[in-house]
């Protein structure tokens, strides 16, 4: 007989049986195309705060925490020094109406302000050089120029230049910018916490079983095919298959499924899930970089790093705002000097413009939403591989569903076995069919094998196994040529389908031919998922048409379509025809989302505007999909689309806030309302800038509440 792998390889051809698109949920995970990067070697953010490029692995995480601690320390030192600077500053004394001048007052101010400038302002000065080296002036450039001009001008007044110092404004500006950065960085760190939970989910050790002994070993020493013991309440250290025991496992952090899942012998377990009350022995399948959890982490990191259209837009806006701010800043200085105002006043206007114009909130607006939405999605079983497709999911007008395993449970049970040739009994029909199906994990095949095992029937060995393209399978069994085929094959061969073959419209029927003659048929039924009807209501409420494409016969497809109230269906569809359906819908101006298992659906997933691969457990599918659903639940797709809309809306809100604030504040800082007596001071400008950043950060955090809401 051909080996099992061949049978799986030919599943695409097998699929045109009545169950042509019945999902192959148990695809060999080890052979799937995934990024094979070891998480420990992943390229994390370099921690350059000027670019907000914060890594989400442990190294990036620790570096980020160190930077937060550094900003916090610099802020408190600056604040302590700012208090005496304010008290002994002549300008502040003039505002409040008191006089308290110390001997060498201006030199004390200069000394204290020098410490504030070089210690408190250092992150902004180094950030400025970093931006200049990259040829991408931005926020750090503006802050650095503002504080540098303020410091050196004020220092010059101490040593003879005519004018009034504004050391107090320099100190308050640096203090406010430091606290703004500190709060903002804490927000960014908060956004990556969900991913940190994923990273930290694996235990440090595993209990390896060696004969009658159990030894504790480091996780990195675990090998494929090792047997490990998972005690009650412990985390599962690696992906594997249970060889002994049963228990309920909590997989909520991996799949979004809140209820513990019962696992028994031969069931797969995912590394990182939490064991319940039972003790399990597990044979290791995947470790380290090949593990499901590591693939999730890699995908999430790549999604967070990948730039979406919205993110590119915000980057361009920030860059242009920098050039505009520099132009307006120097223009403001020139205009006030031309109008005859003192250099100090003109300089103050320029400094204020530069502070106000810092595109800090703008630089944070999109990346923070991206980080939060990607991490929250992963927690809820939505793995985003293509950021742009995720954001564009709000445009979906047609959703093309596969039937089996998505709208239906994909768990087929044999409902009837009939013989149409008196030479063969029902049991023989089932036995011959099982010989061809025993190597397949196709839902139809699984249903037939399950029925055989219930009757404790011995399954014969097939020889010369072959897939009949798109129609079924054939092999020699006990000297007879056996074929298990779809009704399409019977029609092509001009074989009459028995009148009573279909008793229930929702049944799927496969036919058994022995030596070229129809000997009987097996009917199976697949139960509709209870979540499907609810999900379809959500789609319709959001004006999305729901269509179904299935390899099943017309009667079965119509029965499912009518029961769920779909907008239409395509029956007896070959895998390659799904691409044509997607193209046809797109040619009509529809924005199409396609769902499939990512194996024989790959071309259609690639063709669709948004490709959504569905799979369960560790069967994370296809490179061609934009988004992967860990569970095959249609409600997850509803959540995905609604969360995509919410994410896009948050990005727009943050962009509008960040840019709108600058549009209003820059002219005020330049002094356009000077004739009315209103001018925006540097310290007030710094407060408003920091407030803008905090509002953007809080608004992004509100996105967490949007997942799963209808």
Q: How far apart are the first and last CA of the chain?
A: 51
Burial of 212 (0-12, 13-18, 19+ CB in 10 A): exposed
Nearest to 201 by CA among 260, 162, 144, 250: 250
Give me 499's structure tokens: 């009148």
Provide the edge-to-edge strand list for the sheet that holds 213-218. 213-218, 205-210, 227-230, 280-286, 239-244, 268-269
| CA triple 599-634-308, angle to 5 deg | 70
Any bridge partners for residue 463, and if so which?
Answer: 476
Distances (CA, A) of 19 to 374, 450, 486, 490, 551: 35, 17, 8, 15, 5
Distance CA 127, CA 71 (A): 13
Task: List all residues 6 or more positions away from 106 whose beta carbon is below 8 Å from its beta carbon.
Answer: 158, 165
Question: Measured between alpha carbons, how far is residue 68 from residues 127, 190, 688 in Å?
Answer: 15, 12, 21
Give the Cα separation of 113 and 695 in Å (integer): 30
Report which DSSP code applies to 235: B
Q: Are 365 and 696 in contact (CB under 8 A)?
A: yes
Distances (CA, A) of 2 to 436, 464, 467: 11, 7, 11
For tokens 């016969």, the residue is 553
Of residues 54, 56, 78, the one with CA closest to residue 68: 54
Adjacent-strand bridge partners of 229: 207, 281
Which phi and psi (to 5°) does residue 411 adopt? Answer: -105, 90
**500: annotated active-site residue:** no
DSSP 471: T
Cα 333 to Cα 293: distance, rounded to the nearest angstrom: 56
Nearest in space to 315 (alpha carbons), one of 138, 123, 55: 138
If we measure between CA atoms, which residue out of 50, 65, 91 comes closest to residue 177? Answer: 50
CB 171 within 8 A of CB 85: yes
Single out the catalytic residue among 315, 402, 601, 619: 402
Cα dist from 400 to 373, 377, 614, whole Å: 24, 22, 13
Name every residue whose Cβ is closer than 8 Å to that of residue 157 and which is 6 or more positions away in sequence: 163, 164, 165
Structure tokens at 672: 């356009």
Mind telling me the catalytic residues? 402
């Amino acid at each position: 007989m051909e080996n099992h792998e061949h049978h799986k390889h030919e599943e695409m051809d097998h699929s045109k049986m009545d169950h042509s698109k019945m999902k192959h949920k148990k695809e060999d995970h080890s052979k799937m195309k995934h990024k094979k990067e070891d998480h420990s070697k992943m390229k994390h953010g370099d921690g350059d705060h000027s670019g907000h490029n914060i890594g989400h692995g442990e190294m990036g995480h620790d570096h980020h925490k160190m930077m937060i601690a550094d900003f916090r320390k610099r802020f408190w030192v600056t604040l302590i020094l700012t208090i005496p600077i304010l008290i002994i500053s002549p300008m502040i004394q003039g505002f409040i109406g008191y006089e308290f001048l110390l001997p060498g007052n201006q030199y004390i101010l200069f000394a204290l302000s020098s410490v504030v400038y070089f210690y408190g302002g250092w992150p902004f000065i180094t950030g400025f050089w970093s931006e200049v080296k990259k040829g991408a002036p931005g926020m750090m450039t503006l802050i650095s120029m503002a504080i540098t001009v303020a410091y050196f001008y004020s220092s010059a007044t101490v040593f003879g230049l005519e004018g009034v110092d504004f050391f107090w404004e320099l100190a308050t500006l640096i203090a406010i910018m430091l606290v703004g950065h500190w709060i903002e960085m804490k927000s960014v760190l908060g956004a990556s916490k969900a991913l940190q939970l994923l990273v930290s989910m694996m235990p440090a050790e595993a209990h390896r079983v060696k004969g009658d002994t159990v030894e504790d070993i480091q996780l990195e020493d675990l090998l494929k095919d090792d047997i490990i013991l998972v005690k009650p309440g412990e985390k599962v250290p690696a992906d594997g298959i249970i060889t002994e025991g049963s228990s309920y496992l909590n997989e909520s952090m991996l799949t979004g499924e809140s209820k513990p899942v019962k696992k028994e012998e031969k069931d797969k377990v995912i590394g990182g899930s939490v064991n319940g009350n039972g003790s399990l022995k597990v044979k290791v399948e995947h470790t380290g970089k090949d593990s499901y959890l590591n693939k999730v982490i890699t995908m999430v990191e790549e999604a967070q790093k990948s730039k979406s259209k919205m993110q590119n837009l915000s980057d361009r806006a920030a860059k242009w705002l920098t050039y505009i701010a520099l132009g307006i800043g120097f223009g403001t200085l020139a205009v006030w000097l031309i109008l005859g105002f003192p250099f100090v006043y003109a300089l103050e206007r320029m400094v204020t413009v530069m502070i106000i114009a810092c595109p800090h909130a703008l630089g944070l607006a999109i990346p923070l939403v991206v980080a939060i939405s990607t991490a929250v999605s992963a927690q809820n079983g939505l793995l985003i591989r293509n950021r742009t497709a995720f954001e564009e999911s709000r445009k979906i007008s047609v959703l093309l569903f596969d039937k089996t395993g998505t709208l239906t449970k994909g768990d087929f049970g044999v409902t009837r076995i009939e013989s149409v040739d008196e030479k063969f009994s029902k049991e023989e029909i089932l036995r011959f069919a099982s010989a061809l199906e025993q190597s397949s994990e196709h839902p139809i095949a699984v249903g037939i094998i399950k029925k055989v095992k219930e009757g404790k029937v011995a399954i014969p060995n097939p020889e010369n196994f072959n897939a009949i393209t798109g129609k079924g399978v054939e092999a020699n069994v006990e000297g007879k040529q056996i074929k298990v085929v779809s009704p399409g094959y019977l029609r092509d061969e001009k074989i009459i389908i028995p009148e009573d073959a279909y008793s229930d419209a929702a049944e799927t029927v496969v036919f058994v031919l022995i030596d070229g003659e129809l000997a009987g048929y097996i009917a199976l039924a697949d139960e509709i998922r209870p979540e499907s009807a609810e999900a379809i209501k959500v789609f319709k409420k959001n004006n999305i048409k729901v269509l179904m494409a299935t390899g099943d016969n017309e009667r079965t497809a119509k029965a499912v379509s009518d029961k769920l109230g779909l907008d239409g269906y395509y029956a007896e569809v070959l895998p390659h025809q799904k691409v044509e359906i997607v193209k046809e819908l797109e040619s009509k101006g529809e924005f199409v989302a396609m769902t499939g298992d990512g194996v024989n659906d790959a071309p259609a997933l690639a063709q669709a505007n948004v490709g959504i691969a569905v799979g369960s457990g560790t069967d994370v599918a296809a490179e061609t999909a934009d988004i992967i659903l860990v569970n095959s639940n249609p409600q997850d797709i509803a959540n995905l689309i609604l969360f995509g809309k919410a994410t896009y809306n948050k990005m727009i809100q943050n962009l509008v806030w960040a840019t709108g604030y600058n549009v209003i504040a820059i002219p005020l800082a330049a002094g356009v309302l000077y004739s009315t007596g209103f001018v925006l001071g540097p310290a007030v400008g710094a407060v408003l800038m920091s407030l803008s950043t905090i509002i953007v950060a809080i608004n992004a955090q509100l996105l967490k509440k949007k997942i799963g809401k209808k």
